[in-house]
Amino acid sequence: MSRERRELKQVSPEKPFGMYCCGPTVYGPAHIGNFRTFLLQDVLRRTLEVDGIKVRHVRNITDVDDKTIRRSQEEGKTLAEFTAAWTKKFHDDCAALNMLPPQVEPSAVEHIPLQIAMIEQLVARGNAYVAPDGSVYFKVSSDPHYGKLARLDRDALRTQSTNSNGDANVADEYTRDNVSDFALWKARKPEDGPNFWQSPWGEGRPGWHIECSAMSTHYLGETFDLHGGGIDLCFPHHENEIAQAECSCGHHDTFAQHWFHSAHLMVDGAKMSKSLGNLYTLADLEGKGFSPMAVRYALISGHYRSQLNFTLKSLDDATAALEKIEKAARKLLDKAGITPEEFSQDITVHEQNTAWGAFEPAWTALCDDLNIPGAIGKIFSAFAELNKTELSQADAGTQLCGLAKILSALGIRLFTKQEAAPADIPAEIVALGEQRWAAKQARNWAEADALRNKLAELGWKSLDRKDGYSLEKI
């Protein structure tokens, strides 16, 4: 909001840190651009928790909007069964990417009365009006604070109620050049099918923006600590969230106290998005042999305020970097007499330990505007330094505590691969694996993909590294 770096302060230190993030619209698989944003939020939450701050993380599920309604009807499914299936897929991907589940994950459909109540308050306070068809619009000119987050030209907004064509604005998404009164409640239309709810203004459904204002303040209070989302949500979604929430209670500057907008994941200079079709899902990348942990590493490895260009090479690099970290960690484990399993599992013991050892600079980087690339660089510097030092068994144990804590903040888990012993792999599978690896080396993607599918049919998958691969039972 201030366009300045400010210290992250809690509104009420005695309460958990309230963090609201706009969640997925569940009408298809989330792509890795979406996951870049969700993963950065996960790292922020983990960092706060490693610092000893209790976090209350709320992330909504958008399960009623133009897209979910249209797609469910195209597939002949009820909205509930259609969105439940995509919500489950989203949860599965989140778990594979080692994301912590939010404490509250409210669905828009399950909170319609809450949204209606907020719209009623806006109408009562003169910030919203009912159109002849029974739709309700937010009156932008009624709010002298409107535009403060996106820094819109207030003078231009004073008289504007319709869009540039002179029409009422029924769209949920529009550009800043097309600001106008926006829909809070949409009167029932034939294309909505059975998806409508009763309201004081007749049958209809909520607009998109109102769900986040209603659910964030319901679960976190009128004022909460931080609100997150991709940078595309800054306008109009977050601007509208502020207007709805603050006008409905009549107090300004009360909504989110910090905004955490993450820059986009890009492909060849364009934002990765469903509409451009330039996307990858987690399943696409797993199909190419990359582990979810490598995907996580690649997606968090750029600074949250900078765009990140996605390439398959970045996943090769991530795979190699993870192997390097595992190798260096293994050396420390051997010295400390700790097994990789104990290291990966015993996170509570690590959290009780306050020592950072050689990983202190990595932690400092993370605490400075969530500088993840800086922190990763410092992890490698720490290993280089430790390599030059003679460590006792106790020293190695202390260093491992620091390593465990920084990896826990980044959500990176080591030693997750369960490689099959070569003797357990049937000869036919070994041969297919060899052929596939050769095709991949020759950059013959079509053949490599076909062989991967064949392996999958037989119940096997290949885990690829920069310098080789291993085969694993699915």
Instruction: Verify binding: residue 68, ligand AMP, rule CB under 6 A.
Output: no
> Cα–Cα–Cα angle for 248, 83, 99, nearest 5°?
80
Window 366-385: contact mask with Zn ion (x via CB under 5 A): --------------------
Q: Are 208 and 171 in contact (CB under 8 A)?
A: no
First to last CA, the chain: 47
Instruction: Verify binding: residue 48, ligand AMP, rule CB under 6 A.
Output: no
Select from 25, 115, 169, 199 the one that contacts ligand AMP (CB under 6 A): 25
Residue nearest to ligand AMP (CB): 230
- Candidates 401, 411, 407, 404; CA nearest to 353 is 401
> Shortest approach of ligand AMP to residue 457 CB, angstroms?
32
Instruction: Verify binding: residue 245, Zn ion, rule CB under 5 A.
Output: no
Instruction: Verify binding: residue 39, Zn ion, rule CB under 5 A.
Output: no
> Shortest approach of ligand AMP to residue 261 CB, angstroms?
8
Stretch that binds Zn ion, among 20-28, 84-92, 105-113, 410-418 (CB under 5 A): 20-28
Nearer to Zn ion, 212 or 432 (CB): 212
> Shortest approach of ligand AMP to residue 37 CB, angstroms?
4
Burial of 168 (0-12, 13-18, 19+ CB in 10 A): middle
Strands 136-138 and 128-130 come out as antiparallel
Instruction: Verify binding: residue 36, ligand AMP, rule CB under 6 A.
Output: yes
Any idea of the CA torsion for 434, 438, 439, 443, to the nearest 10 degrees? 150
Distance CA 404, CA 419 (A): 23
Stretch that binds Zn ion, among 21-29, 99-107, 402-410, 443-451 (CB under 5 A): 21-29
Q: What is the DSSP letter of 163?
A: -
Residue 61, strand partner residues: 107
Q: Residue 264, SS3?
A: coil
Structure tokens at 247: 């006008």
Instruction: Verify binding: residue 22, Zn ion, rule CB under 5 A.
Output: yes
212 binds, among ligand AMP, Zn ion, none (CB under 5 to 8 A by kind): Zn ion
Nearer to ligand AMP, 133 or 232 (CB): 232
Cα 380 from chain centroid (whole Å): 26
230 binds, among Zn ion, ligand AMP, none (CB under 5 to 8 A by kind): ligand AMP
Q: Residue 78, SS3?
A: coil
Helices 312-336/292-300 angle, 10° precision = 100
Nearer to ligand AMP, 180 or 262 (CB): 262
Number of residues lying near ligand AMP (CB under 6 A): 18
Nearer to Zn ion, 212 or 325 (CB): 212
Distance CA 55, CA 223 (A): 15
Nearer to ligand AMP, 295 or 432 (CB): 295
> Shortest approach of Zn ion to residue 241 CB, angstroms?
6
> Shortest approach of ligand AMP to residue 88 CB, angstroms?
15
Structure tokens at 399: 């260093």
33 binds, among ligand AMP, Zn ion, none (CB under 5 to 8 A by kind): ligand AMP
Q: Residue 75, SS3?
A: coil
Considering only residues 223-252, where is the footprint of ligand AMP by CB under 6 A?
Answer: 229-230, 232-233
> Shortest approach of ligand AMP to residue 86 CB, angstroms?
10
DSSP result, 12-54: -TTSPEEEEE---B-SSPPPHHHHHHHHHHHHHHHHHHHTT--
Number of residues lying near Zn ion (CB under 5 A): 2
Instruction: Verify binding: residue 448, Zn ion, rule CB under 5 A.
Output: no
Instruction: Verify binding: residue 264, ligand AMP, rule CB under 6 A.
Output: yes
232 binds, among Zn ion, ligand AMP, none (CB under 5 to 8 A by kind): ligand AMP
Distance CA 125, CA 136 (A): 14
Stretch that binds Zn ion, among 74-82, 102-110, 178-186, 205-213 (CB under 5 A): 205-213
Instruction: Verify binding: residue 37, ligand AMP, rule CB under 6 A.
Output: yes
Distance CA 112, CA 214 (A): 9
Residue 138, strand partner residues: 128, 182
Distance CA 241, CA 234 (A): 10
Q: How many CB atoms lie within 10 A of CB 341?
A: 9
Select from 212, 215, 220, 294 the one that contacts Zn ion (CB under 5 A): 212
Nearer to ligand AMP, 234 or 450 (CB): 234
Residue 202: CB partners within 8 Å, gap ≥ 6? 134, 187, 188
Nearer to Zn ion, 180 or 240 (CB): 240
Positions that interact with ligand AMP (CB under 6 A) = 22, 24-25, 33-34, 36-37, 62, 229-230, 232-233, 262, 264-265, 271-273
Positions that interact with Zn ion (CB under 5 A) = 22, 212
